[in-house]
Amino acid sequence: MSDENALVPVDLTQLPSTQIGTDKDFDEIAKSSDFLPRLQLYTKGKAVNRRLVQPGSYGIPVSDDEVTDLGDEIDIIPLARRPKAIDLKDTENIVAVYDVNDDEFKRIQAASAEKDSGCMYGPSFLVFERSTGQFYEFFCGTKSARTEAKRIFPYLPLTQAQIDANPTLADQEPRGPRPMTLRSKLVEKGTYSWHVPVAARCSTPFTELPTSEELTKQIVRFLDVKREGAAVVQDESTASDDPDGRVR
């Protein structure tokens, strides 16, 4: 008998069902907010220093004291993309912009080249991750991540509307999203070192997927962002130790 069972010295293993609904139902209603969780690559910083996650691992920040460590290689399905610029300087009033033509987006983009600016920009992806079976945002906001983001683009769905809008895609056929693998790689330049994402093909089929209705719901929600002006968000914190990212 385990120590935990010894605390209740009566066999209660034959109890009837103790819940109404599925475990997934309870996970959903127990979420602390409706914000889309973030998937991010950790290299240095508070979470690594506190051993909440290993350097070079992908993780899901749950709270200031908890990170779900997914390891240095994960399988995802990228479903949608949007541009994003974010100003983290004032942590009480984090500003996110999703329109590349907006003056605030351009300001953040320019400021991102400055050290300690708290500004980042780049492609933001909606992804479905295999091991957790959940949807996440994967933001490629540093120079290194933006470069690798281009290698994620071919795995995204391609619609007829996109083909019609881009003459260079005239020879393409509509297709669904393709599974891919994200790995991490340590880059060393002089006295600096940091991890960067690496996009690769995935050879293992996804056997468990959300319904097409759920996929559509998540994609529409992800793309339904304020397209004009800046939005103040309260549930987001992203930092980079990539010296090319300039956020320190």
- What is the end-to-end Cα distance of the chain in Å, rounded? 50
Range of the domain at 48: 34-233
Q: Which of 85, 92, 35 is nearest to 227 (CA)?
A: 85
CB contact at 8 A, 86 and 110? no
pLDDT of residue 137: 97
Give the β-pairing of 134-139 and 38-41: parallel
Residue 75 token pair: 């399988």
State pLDDT tens for residues 9-29. Answer: 677 667 776 677 776 665 555
DSSP 205: P
Residue 14 lies in a domain: no
Residue 94 lies in a domain: yes
Q: What is the pTM of this model?
A: 0.82
Residue 27 lies in a domain: no
Mean pLDDT (the chain, rounded): 86
Domain count, the chain: 1
Residue 240 lies in a domain: no
Rounded CA separation 6/210 (Å): 40
Percent of the chain with pLDDT over 70: 80
Rounded CA separation 232/15 (Å): 49
Confidence band, pLDDT 50/70/90 cuts, at residue 129: very high
